[in-house]
Amino acid sequence: MLEAVAGWVPGEPVPNEALPAEWGVDDAWIRTRTGIAGRHRAAPGMSTGDIAYEAARLLVADPVRAGSVGTGSAEAGSARAGYARAADAVVLATATPDHLIPGTAPALAARLGLGTVPAFDIGAVCSGFVYGLAVCHGLVVSGICERVLLVGADVYSTWLDPRDRSSGVVFGDGAGAALIGAGRVGDPGELIAFDLGSDGTGYDLITVAGGGARSRSVAEPSAEGDEFFRMRGRAVYQHAVERMTGSCRSLLRTVGWDAAEVDHFVPHQANARILRAVAERVGIGARRCVTHLDRVGNTGAASIPLALADADARGRFRTGDRMLLTAFGGGLTWGTVALRWPATAAPATAAPATAAPATTTVETTTSGAVRPDNSRATALDGRNGS
């Protein structure tokens, strides 16, 4: 069962107008091709583990501070006051780990005060959150764990070639977290079914060529630029549309839903053209599509939980809504999940953000309340009695 979701992005927004002049692009050019108006960048010295922690602590917190979020650098929403759940495992979906070795999840678990719980990374790139939901569902259903913390987090800004405008305009940094627990069939929050796939013949379409065992296994030094993220955009677009469309259609048949019965469609926030193409082919109208990339760009494994947390904070979802989540990433990998939205707190009354000192702490009793300063976070409380 999906119990709760939260999201966090670092720093002030970086609007299209603030991108490097040497890229030769303007706001209209970027919006037309991607649908993106801005993105967030992690500050120097901030890593994937750091932003994963910021998202995770909105859901898994010291009971004394549960529901309270410091405003050291944030405009945010928080989980319901008094909300703190222990997790007995941590799964981190990321393509930008802090180190090749070790995984980032164990350090995240320790930082959250979760002790010696199992913790591991999964590397399905932008499909990571959907793959992670399947993994966490299996851990709970098998009885290995009672509640699992899933985090999708990526700091793509550290992997981008500063000369590559095609990736630079698209990617942002961010983290999203979710709690997966036990429950009953038919209850709100139920993870109903999954459709997962991969095609390794397309492994070279989305890559960071340098740094791994393959590049280290040869005597020749890595080629210039191999340390940076590369994506073959046109081929990726074609595969992404085809694979996500096929996966959605297959899963809809499995669960017995017609496309018209889906209340909300939440695709990986790659770019607006891909989102529109998949939705149209599946037969889901624009009003039922959840988008967030206009404000944060493509945040990799964080994109779906960020979109969920943002939409819920705006009061868009209702308990029991039928949701279809789909993603596509490097590998190639793709996946789709059908679920029912969990019971959530009543939407907060909209209020303008106001300035606050770095030491201020804000407590909220509903999801989606706003807290000020220069990072953003949203969280929902999805407790459903399971």
- In the numeric block, which tokens belong to residue 155? 């700091």
Preceding peptide of 102 cis, ω within 30°: yes
Preceding peptide of 332 cis, ω within 30°: yes
Q: First-to-last CA distance in the chain? A: 8
**Residue owning tokens 């981190």:** 92
What are the CA-CA distances from residue 295 to residues 12, 23, 96, 192 (Å)? 11, 20, 21, 30
Report helix angle 272-282 to 27-34, nearest 10: 30
All residues at 6 or more sequence positions from 201 whose CB lies less than 8 Å from its CB, including other chains = none
- Phi then psi for residue 121, to 5 deg, are -95, 155
What are the CA-CA distances from residue 177 to residues 25, 90, 280 (Å)? 33, 10, 29
Give CA–CA dist 295/240, Å, rounded: 21
Angle at 380 between CA 377 and CA 288, to 5 degrees: 95
- In the numeric block, which tokens belong to residue 315? 């009061």
Active centre residues (catalytic): 126, 268, 298
8 A C-beta contact, residue 123 and residue 94: yes
Preceding peptide of 133 cis, ω within 30°: no
